[in-house]
């Protein structure tokens, strides 16, 4: 697991395959909270939710990018959803 202190607000999160998964909102304990902006939502923004993933999925932090050890599709299946 990468050092979570390296993960900062507004960093891009990508899967091992380079596909964009979201943007960091903040670190919450051992989990990373993503912004609602990348969440599926209606035309007026309704339905957007925060998603969390375990910090153990992080393979590396480089520049402004958090790269996960799982592909985007596999990582998205592991996300927890919150309002």
pLDDT for residue 83? 59
pLDDT for residue 69? 97
Alpha carbons within 13 angstroms on the beta-carbon side of residue 32 total: 34
Query: Which pLDDT band, with edges at 50, 70 and 90, does 54 fall under?
Result: very high
Instruction: Look at the pTM and tell me if it is higher than 0.95.
Output: no
The hierarchical CATH code for the domain 4-82 is: 2.30.30
pLDDT for residue 40? 58
Give the tens place of pLDDT for each residue, 12-40.
Answer: 999 999 999 999 999 999 999 999 887 75
Which tokens hold the place of 78?
Answer: 């592991």
* Token pair 């402004």: residue: 64
């Amino acid at each position: 697991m990468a050092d979570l202190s390296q993960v900062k607000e507004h960093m891009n999160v990508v899967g091992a395959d380079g596909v964009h998964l979201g943007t960091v909102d903040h670190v919450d304990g051992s989990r990373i909270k993503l912004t609602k902006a990348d969440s599926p939502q209606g035309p007026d923004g309704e339905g957007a939710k925060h998603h969390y993933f375990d910090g153990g999925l992080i393979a590396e932090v480089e520049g402004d990018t958090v790269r996960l050890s799982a592909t985007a599709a596999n990582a998205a299946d592991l996300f927890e959803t919150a309002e």
